[in-house]
Structure 1
Amino acid sequence: MTLKDVQARWAGHSPQVQDVKRAYAVLAPLVEGPEGLSLLFEVRADTLSHQPGEVCFPGGRVEAGETPQDCALRETWEELAIPPAEVEIIAPLDLVVQQGKFIMHPFLGVVSQGGMAAMCPSPAEVKRTFLVPLDWLRDNPPQVYSYELKPQVGEDFPYDRIGFPQGYRWRSGEVSVPVYPWPEGTIWGLTGRIVRHLIEEMT
């Protein structure tokens, strides 16, 4: 391998998160109404094989050749029939990296009244939708739970070879799980993390 080989490989490289194999994108849809600004949530259809009945934002896996923003708008169209032209993207929110080796790209956007009028949830993917006022989310911080991530190292790990025959003090971790007990559907998990971060950044 020559220097030219290395230079050619890394020319114009855009840094990514190491070991991430999949990328997803969601839209955090804002809606203006009598109660001010609200976030629009979905309840996933009970017939889905993955996370049925959970509360989420519209979104899904980023496909080859599309940007995360395009993915968020496409999935919103496929799940709720809200046309991309009726969504104004305000900003990309901070990325979420999950220990399951995927990265989430959330986008904050405003859905027009025309978009809400056109909304028709796909029964194959969406059981129902509901709105939660931003003011309520601000005034009612989530209940936060946590669980520990503990290293599970196999007995065949070569401690002698790395210079630690007595074993190694591996670092553990902790994941916080925010839970918003909204009457129409509990907002928690990854969606709860996006909501909590959004509200914290705005207050």
Structure 2
Amino acid sequence: MAASEQIERLKRALGDRSAPSSDFDLNPDVTLPPGRKLRPAGVLMAFQQGANGLELILTKRSSRLKHHPGQIAFPGGKQDEGDADVVAAALREADEEIGLKPDNVQVLGTLPTHETVTSFTVTPVLGLVRDTFEVKPEPGEVDEVFAVPFDHVTNPACFTVQSRRWQGRRRHYYTAPFGPYYIWGATARILRGLADRVS
């Protein structure tokens, strides 16, 4: 599929007004505490031109981090006081984490929010990288930056449901492994939402 058609499919996906998602979607027995405080965050789903169409940029978090060490993630993070909104937060974090400058990203729009087990309301920001750039992983934060083909992250058949014990109970979650990279948890759930819309 040509990159131009892939871009059109991403734009059409933004028009799907589906409900927000959460880390608890596959675990209906979990009761969320009333009055819980959720912090806003933004992640950048940045697609760049690859050899065979679009590719999604992902990171492997540093194994030295306190939270989610070694996990696969989008560039992004919590909204700070200086950020105009969650879109600005996602762009700022992408600059800090991988060296992708905000003016090198064409923002297409945002997808429905995703609530995480760590009490964040994450807004996925869908964007296109305008030009090639020098990847600069943030020392101590990012171990690796890599790209996954459009056809992998937008195909529901590439996703499976697995489970493990967490805080004394069985927790189910989406996965979308790619080569040596185990994409799971919130990242896989957000991507599954995109795949459902694109397909």
Question: d(CA) in 1 for partners of 2:70 and 2:164?
Answer: 22
Question: d(CA) in 2 for partners of 1:18 and 1:29?
Answer: 33
Tell me if 1:189 matches 2:185. Answer: yes
Match for residue 129 of structure 1 among 145, 155, 165: 145
- Percentage of identical aligned residues: 31
Q: Is the 8 A contact 1:20 1:103 kept in 2?
A: no
- The alpha-carbon deviation at position 52 of structure 1 amounts to 1.1
Q: Is the 8 A contact 2:100 2:135 kept in 1?
A: yes
* Greater Cα shift, 100-109 or 37-46: 100-109
Tell me if 1:86 matches 2:104. Answer: yes
- The alpha-carbon deviation at position 146 of structure 1 amounts to 5.1
Match for residue 86 of structure 2 among 68, 83, 92: 68
Question: d(CA) in 2 for partners of 1:34 and 1:23?
Answer: 35
Indicate the RMSD between aligned Cα atoms, in angstroms.
2.6
Q: Which runs of 5+ in 2 are unaligned?
A: 1-33
Match for residue 40 of structure 1 among 57, 63, 71: 57
- Number of paired residues? 164
Secondary structure at 1:108's aligned position in 2? strand
Q: Deviations over 1:59-83 (max 9, x none)?
A: 1111124210000000000001111
- CA 1:141 to 1:61, structure 2 compared with 1: closer, same or farther past 3 Å? same
Opposite residue 124 of structure 1, the aligned amino acid is: G
TM-score by length of 1: 0.72
Secondary structure at 1:184's aligned position in 2? coil
TM-score by length of 2: 0.74
Higher relative contact order (CA 8 A, sep 6+): 2
Partner of 1:19: 36
Q: Deviations over 1:128-165 (max 9, x none)?
A: 11111111231742111357999xxxxxxxxxxxxxxx
| Greater than 4 Å deviation, 4+ residue runs | 146-150
User: Greater Rg, structure 1 or structure 2?
Assistant: 1
- The alpha-carbon deviation at position 37 of structure 1 amounts to 1.0
Opposite residue 197 of structure 1, the aligned amino acid is: G
